[in-house]
Amino acid sequence: MGSATRDNAFTYVNGALNWCDADVASIAQRTGTPSLVYSSARIRSNLETLRACAAATNRSMGIALALKAAGHASIVKSAMAAADAIAPCNLLCEVMSAEEYDLALALGFSPDQIVVNGLGWQRSLIEAIVAHPPFAVNVDNVSDCKRLSQCALDHGTVVPIGVRIVPSDAAMFARADEKMGIPEARALSDIAEIKSLPGVRIEGVSFHALHRCTSPGQMGAAAKNIAQQIAQLGLADSIKYLDIGGGLDYRVNLCPTDVAMRTFADEISMAFSAFPERVRLIMEPGRFVFGDAAIAATSVATRKQSATKNWLIVDAGTNLLVPIDTASFTVHAAVESADVDSFDVADGICSPTSVIASGCLLPRSTREGDILAIGNAGAYAYALSENWGYAIPPLYLLEPDGSLMLARSNREARSAYMRHWGLEG
């Protein structure tokens, strides 16, 4: 899941750890521990980096925020405010359910700023798509498309859709997800059937082949493969958008300069060079935007030694820092030291999976009460958090002037925990 590393968001100044130009110990003192803190400046910086990449493609590109990566309105609103300040930054919102569609509208996105993905759609989502057509509707299979077609017919309208197809060379996948997309073996027959359905019209193509990608060449290979399939399927002249999905790694794991992102842009541009300039691009970079934009501030509760390892038990829980296999949490000491040892960092929940990070090089003198910052806590952390073992901790936004905005208090967190268990908060 990760070990201690130092990235460009973390620096030591006179021995004290700074994150996004703020002193971590001071943050922890003001918020208490555990707490989850997002940097609005880092969210903006990540979006600015993507905007430079989009500009380098010489095409119109929409940046679609995946609600599933964020998990709280304040986080999304911070990104929306940042996008408003970056001209031009065409911000969209990616949803997968009727609830997320309603949430996107409540956050202030208009239907023509929404991208719908997913499969096994609820009837309520299909009705929302037909009543208020979003910018893009990416169909994953014939069955969902038939239900969408019937609903469109019932309302006497035609819904523009995109088809999600899978690159044919599985070797290029960073992580294959066989349940998503139309495979090459079925593409000709499935798309012919979709084309024959009344009430829908193919105007786009979507693919999401990569996961935590750090290689521009890998992105380019996937894009070229899709471009070839589009030509073979006879869609090249009719499509209006190409949704290249997400799949970028945390920004801290990529070179965070315009030059590096320009390399991605060059690969994408070359892959789709044969398509008219009117064909718009969409990217869904949830992890890149939010992933390294948050830390969990935590205190060491207990230090112990097992037969083979040094352990630090902290007050942040894996109910927040969920130990999924795609997590990459980094652990940083608030005070710098050249005398380090290897530690595994875990919570106090009685579960063998409740390890936050392993092999962390931290000060040998680390003891109870010391402050640690856990990085890469911004994507698929709060969004996947659950009220078990511990309450989900309070949530803050760190502003560029160093102020902290409380988005969800400790009292609210504990009240939500009790309600989760069917008790009054």
Averaged pLDDT, 208-228: 87
Q: What is the pLDDT of residues 300-319, one digit of tens each?
A: 999 999 999 999 999 999 99
Averaged pLDDT, 333-361: 94
Q: What is the pLDDT of residue 360?
A: 97
Q: Dihedral of CA 139/225/61/195: which sign?
A: negative
Q: What is the pLDDT of residues 143-164, one digit of tens each?
A: 999 999 999 999 999 999 999 9
Averaged pLDDT, 106-120: 95
Cα(49)–Cα(64) distance, rounded to whole angstroms?
14
**Among 8-22, 197-211, 256-270, 367-381, the least confident range:** 256-270
Q: What is the pLDDT of residues 35-64, one digit of tens each?
A: 999 999 999 999 999 998 888 888 899 999
Closest by alpha carbon to 100, among 74, 69, 63? 69
Averaged pLDDT, 170-185: 66
Please give the mean pLDDT across all residues of the chain.
Answer: 91
CA angle in degrees (0–180, nearest 5) for 146-151-153: 95
Report the percentage of the chain scoring pLDDT > 70.
94
CA angle in degrees (0–180, nearest 5) for 413-418-420: 90
Averaged pLDDT, 92-107: 96
Contact 161, 203 (CB under 8 A): yes
Residues composing the chain: 425
With a cut of 70, say whether residue 7 has pLDDT above it.
Answer: no
Averaged pLDDT, 176-191: 81
With a cut of 90, say whether residue 254 has pLDDT above it.
Answer: no
CA trace torsion 229, 231, 236, 238 (10° rounding): -80
With a cut of 90, say whether residue 425 has pLDDT above it.
Answer: no
Return the H-helix or E-strand segment holding 94.
Answer: strand 91-95
Q: What is the pLDDT of residue 102?
A: 96
With a cut of 80, say whether residue 8 has pLDDT above it.
Answer: no
With a cut of 70, say whether residue 1 has pLDDT above it.
Answer: no
With a cut of 60, say whether residue 123 has pLDDT above it.
Answer: yes
Contact 320, 385 (CB under 8 A): yes
Q: What is the pLDDT of residue 258?
A: 66
Q: What is the pLDDT of residue 399?
A: 96
Between the ranges 97-106, 183-192, 256-265, where is the mean pLDDT highest? 97-106
Please, how many CA atoms are within 13 Å of residue 105, restricted to the half-sphere of its CB? 13
If you ran DSSP here, which 8-state letter would residue 19 be given? E
Confidence of residue 175 (pLDDT cuts 50, 70, 90): low
pTM given for the model: 0.93
Q: What is the pLDDT of residue 184?
A: 81
Q: What is the pLDDT of residue 210?
A: 80
**Among 3-7, 104-108, 132-136, 151-155, the least confident range:** 3-7
Averaged pLDDT, 171-184: 66
DSSP assignment of 338-403 equals S-EEEEEEE-SSS-TT-EEEEEEEEETT--TT-EEEEES-SSSSGGG--SSSSPPPPEEEE-TTS-
Q: What is the pLDDT of residue 5?
A: 40
Q: Which residues pair with 39 in a beta bridge?
A: 398
Q: What is the pLDDT of residue 420?
A: 87
Q: What is the pLDDT of residue 4?
A: 39
Q: What is the pLDDT of residue 414?
A: 87
Contact 98, 128 (CB under 8 A): yes
Q: What is the pLDDT of residue 171?
A: 52
At a CB cut-off of 8 Å and minimum separation 6, what does 410 contact?
A: 32, 391, 393, 394
User: Domain coordinates of the chain in residue numbers?
Assistant: 41-290
Cα(370)–Cα(372) distance, rounded to whole angstroms?
7
With a cut of 60, say whether residue 176 has pLDDT above it.
Answer: no
Averaged pLDDT, 244-251: 89
Confidence of residue 178 (pLDDT cuts 50, 70, 90): low
Q: What is the pLDDT of residue 2?
A: 39
Helices and strands: H and E segment counts in the chain: 12, 20
Can you name the CATH fold of 41-290? Answer: TIM Barrel (3.20.20)
